[in-house]
Amino acid sequence: MLRTLCTGLIAVWVCWSSLFATETVVKFDGPDAEKQWKFTEKTGSIQNGELVFDGMEGISKGFYLPLEWDDVKLSAKFMVEPGPDNKVLACGFIVRAINASCYYYVHFDRRSAILVRFDETSEWMEITRVAVPNREAGKWYDASLEIHGDTLTVSFDGKKLYDAKDAALKGAGRIGFYASEGVVHVKDIRVEGDSQAATVELKFPPQYFIRIRADASVGGYAAFPDVCRLQDGRLLCVFYAGYGHVALPNAQLPKGGQIVACYSSDEGSTWTVPETIIDTPLDDRDPSVVQLADGRILVAFFTYQRPDGKTTTETGIVESADNGKTWSEPRFLFTNVPVSTPIRILSDGTLLLPLYTFDDDNPGSNSGAVSLSYDHGKTWSDVIIIPNGGQQLDAETDLIELKDGTLYAIQRAWMGVSYSKDKGKAWSVSKHAGFEGHCPYLLRTKDDVILLGTRLPRTNLRISRDECATWSESILVDGVIGAYPSMVERKDGSILIVYYEEGAGSSIRVKKFRVTETGVQWLPFE
């Protein structure tokens, strides 16, 4: 038995043999076809009977407005145009879109089919993934995303890839598609399920994070950011730019990863195009930045190489005496004692460079460390070890001066805590902080609240109101796993946090928040 209803734009068939009651075929041949879709910016359109999304400069989305579904199967053909090797060339299928930032989606990139939930806490709450090898750009593929109750099913090129369960998003929502780091074409859209007329306007919620343009045309991957305020009021962000988490020299980048810098004159809402400030013949990484009272800007970083499979690093500093217009050549200080957090300026003017040790030949010996400068960074002391108490500490040390002059240091993974009563010359044996984390970063606000940003389990934040004696429960900043957060206080008293995503095409993200009596309030970008 078959019943057909034609609307000119949509044809609806009732097929009783189907799992779902109705099938909606979305067409683009009517005069009002464009009005049936809502696109982000001007990057989505209908061309020659296809949806076309230009996601090269940012994710391009489109949502089908007239109808919404609860249980639904969204099927279509898609093709991603050929593009640069460092781009993910991804197409996304969206279901249960409550609004433009709350839905389930499957992300088909070059190599994977990744099922994700996008909600008010994060745009990337990964549910599961599977490899999809040999997907070719420029070729059309059939794919589908189906949800029935709390079960989601992903199929690709006529083959079911997996089932997964997630019960977070319930009720009816719209369907849609998107492109990320590629130009995507979508056609032959079929929607199976009992539909209802959508009665609520599809809203694009406030934007709670922005991206800094990722790589200065280096390699498509950005990571390890650090931010500070300059004396002229601008914000300066430095970060790593390469082709992956480690970018050793190759044909694409003959000098490997490099360090770039960009500036914001509007408290972090917009940023200049990144400029290269460090590019040695090796992989240059983990930059951090501070401006001294005399106006000099110091960027600490380290180079990375693995000759004969053994890690070697050199920690160095570059400086600018003209507010970032020009930069010195690197001055190298230490071998195999890396740095990941900024030089800290103590109350007596001492500069303290947080470091950490590692030894490929002596597993378990890793610990935090510091070096001191009493002449504004012209010379530095020998490395001072923070005792690890026999506990392996992958370190990435950061520290803060407490009100009584004590220095508080915290170190990666086991999160070892150590104290110094003599401005960094000697340190107590590290003890467990009570939680785990990577790449810690400490910031004292003008209200004497101390913030701790970390990675693990995702990108997270903790609050101390008692000089680091106790910490709040972990507060989720973002569902992405890159982290290496850094923070700066804005002129209005809110906090800007920068961190990175991780994965192919990783970018630097920026969010802002205000500390409240009960936690934090996330603030939208206008």
Going 90 to 91 to 96 to 98, the CA torsion angle's sign is positive
pLDDT of residue 375: 97
Q: Tell me how many degrees the CA angle 463-352-311 measures, rounded to the nearest 5.
A: 95
End of a domain among 197, 224, 247? 197
Q: Residue 386 — pLDDT band, cuts 50, 70, 90?
A: very high
Going 92 to 93 to 97 to 102, the CA torsion angle's sign is negative
Q: Are residues 224 and 80 in the same domain?
A: no
pLDDT at residue 69 tops 50:
yes
Q: Are residues 485 and 341 in the same domain?
A: yes
Going 301 to 304 to 310 to 314, the CA torsion angle's sign is negative
Angstrom CA distances, 465 to 486, 493, 496, 521, stand at: 19, 16, 19, 17
pLDDT at residue 505 tops 70:
yes
**425 within some domain:** yes
pLDDT of residue 101: 86
> Please, what is the average pLDDT of the chain?
91
pLDDT of residue 308: 80
End of a domain among 174, 197, 220? 197
Q: In this structure, what token pair is assigned to residue 313?
A: 């690093």
Query: Residues 179-202, buried b or exposed e (16+ Cβ, 10 A)?
Result: bbbbbbbbbebebbbebeebeeeb
End of a domain among 173, 197, 221? 197
Q: Give the bridge partners for 483, in sequence order.
A: 500
Tally of helices (H runs) and strands (E runs) in the chain: 0, 44
- How far is 37 from 60, CA to CA, in rounded Å? 13
Q: Are residues 181 and 217 in the same domain?
A: no
Q: Which of 83-92, 143-152, 409-418, 474-483 has the lowest mean pLDDT?
A: 83-92
Q: Are residues 165 and 73 in the same domain?
A: yes
Q: Are residues 51 and 183 in the same domain?
A: yes
**515 within some domain:** no
Q: Are residues 249 and 187 in the same domain?
A: no
Q: In this predicted model, which residue has the larger pLDDT, 349 or 83?
A: 349
CA-nearest of 29, 31, 44, 164 to 95 is 164
pLDDT at residue 217 tops 70:
no
**Residues 300-339 pLDDT 10s:** 999 999 888 788 999 999 999 999 999 999 999 999 999 9
- How far is 63 from 40, CA to CA, in rounded Å? 9
Which residues lie below 8 Å from residue 517, measured CB to CB, with a gap of 6+?
A: none
CA-nearest of 244, 246, 368 to 311 is 246
CATH code for the domain of 120: 2.60.120.560
pLDDT of residue 97: 96
Q: Residue 457 — pLDDT band, cuts 50, 70, 90?
A: confident
CATH code for the domain of 254: 2.120.10.10
**Residues 155-200 pLDDT 10s:** 999 999 999 999 999 999 999 999 998 999 999 999 999 999 998 9
pLDDT of residue 3: 27
Which residues lie below 8 Å from residue 31, measured CB to CB, with a gap of 6+?
A: none
pLDDT of residue 313: 96
Angstrom CA distances, 155 to 3, 74, 163, stand at: 28, 10, 9
Q: Are residues 469 and 431 in the same domain?
A: yes
* Domain boundaries, position 372: 212-500
**424 within some domain:** yes
**526 within some domain:** no
pLDDT of residue 392: 84
**Residues 231-251 pLDDT 10s:** 999 999 999 999 899 999 998
Q: Are residues 146 and 277 in the same domain?
A: no
pLDDT at residue 227 tops 90:
yes
The predicted model scores a pTM of 0.76
Q: Are residues 166 and 223 in the same domain?
A: no
CA 286 to chain centre: 15
- How far is 312 from 498, CA to CA, in rounded Å? 28
**518 within some domain:** no
pLDDT at residue 11 tops 50:
no
pLDDT of residue 214: 53
Average pLDDT over residues 477-500: 95
pLDDT at residue 31 tops 80:
no
Query: Residues 243-267, buried b or exposed e (16+ Cβ, 10 A)?
Result: bbeebeeeeebeebbbbbbbbbeeb
pLDDT at residue 203 tops 70:
yes
Q: Residue 29 — pLDDT band, cuts 50, 70, 90?
A: low
First to last CA, the chain: 53
Q: Are residues 181 and 234 in the same domain?
A: no
**221 within some domain:** yes
pLDDT at residue 286 tops 80:
yes
SS3 33: helix
pLDDT of residue 151: 98
pLDDT of residue 184: 98
Q: Are residues 219 and 185 in the same domain?
A: no
Which residues lie below 8 Å from residue 116, measured CB to CB, with a gap of 6+?
A: 104, 105, 106, 107, 123, 124, 125, 126, 127
DSSP states along 310-349: --EEEEEEEEESSTTSS-PPPEEEEES----SPPEEPTTS
**207 within some domain:** no
pLDDT of residue 24: 74
**507 within some domain:** no
pLDDT at residue 28 tops 80:
no
Q: Are residues 17 and 45 in the same domain?
A: yes
Q: How many domains does the chain have?
A: 2
